[in-house]
Chain A
Amino acid sequence: DQQVKQNSPSLSVQEGRISILNCDYTNSMFDYFLWYKKYPAEGPTFLISISSIKDKNEDGRFTVFLNKSAKHLSLHIVPSQPGDSAVYFCAARAGGNTPLVFGKGTRLSVIA
């Protein structure tokens, strides 16, 4: 039973355009959501997070939107750059320092 789902295994976007990565979850106890970027042969790099008391969090080119009623979140990258090409993981936790539950990831390719 996959509690965090990233239904798009891959996404290609042109440089300068918006990248939108989606994530759905099933566990209504999740109240913190995190996005990570992963390059080959490296560990995941923390990008941005959001608490369930908010519906939007922005950090530079990265914005995360949370729709609790739909149990859906999305990561927007604007403008997309070739260096953004990586695998992006959505993760969630059900409060405190509970374990992170990850999706399977979406491979983003930004084409120059």
Chain B
Amino acid sequence: EDQVTQSPEALRLQEGESSSLNCSYTVSGLRGLFWYRQDPGKGPEFLFTLYSAGEEKEKERLKATLTKKESFLHITAPKPEDSATYLCAVRGTTDSWGKLQFGAGTQVVVTP
């Protein structure tokens, strides 16, 4: 069964203090690894999809990277508006159609 572990559970950053979130995964054949942002009381907002080791994607202050066992979400010079829970999910080749296996998330708080 697919497994996704995110660390740390929570992260408190000063504005401008760069950091990285980790997503370790076990999957039997990776169709895709997905990063989402979730604000309190809202549905997850899609950020990135990564398909193969070595792939990188960027969006504003966020950069996602992928290896065969883990993915990192780097937050560069964060601002208070980057405060959210960041979710990682994987889809494997043996998963029932469309199933995403989510990690527990990393709650990020950025203080001014």
Pairing of A with B: no
Chain B residues in contact with chain A, CB under 8 A? none
Chain A residues in contact with chain B, CB under 8 A? none
